[in-house]
Amino acid sequence: MRERQDEIPFLLEHFIERFATDYGCPAISISRKAVEACTNYPWPGNIRELQSFVLRLLIQRDERQAVQDLQAQSLTRAAHESCQSEIAKVAPRNLKAWGREIKTNVEREAIVRALLETRYNRRLAAERLKISYSALHYKIRQYGLHKAGSPEIDEQLKSVGKQS
């Protein structure tokens, strides 16, 4: 239907008449705004989705709501496609590696935050993170977060000190 959008107004009229007759309800006229919304919609479900739209329109008899639903579906579809394209960027990668990378980034960020909040008091940071002191010490070395050796930590600590 995407390639034959010019036929959508005729299909709308056809289905309105057909379903009104089949179900014994009065036909409705459809506004130009609704026809335009239908013409702009991609109809991923093809003709069946268009038929369902017309049937809902006849049953609900609320064109404004039907158009709003159609536009909401369009926005949801656009958001889904955007999300799919983001996933496609990382899809060729190994899922386990991707999961490890995410875990590493989140874990590192949580440790940095705990260290900053405790002014690099490792024992207190370990308590906040609910891990042992030795586990925190290991993670600090693993992520290169040594107080004197990490410009990132030094900068963040300086900025926290200025705010206090």
pLDDT of residue 84: 66
pLDDT of residue 130: 94
63-78 per-position pLDDT tens digit:
888 888 887 777 776 6
pLDDT of residue 85: 64
Q: Residue written as tokens 């013409």?
A: 39
Identify which of 53, 54, 39, 52 has the alpha carbon closest to the alpha carbon of residue 2. Answer: 39
109-154 per-position pLDDT tens digit:
888 888 888 888 999 999 999 999 999 999 988 887 765 445 555 6
Which carries the bigger pLDDT value, residue 114 or residue 80? 114
pLDDT of residue 5: 86
pLDDT of residue 122: 92
Identify which of 68, 71, 63, 54 has the alpha carbon closest to the alpha carbon of residue 32. Answer: 63
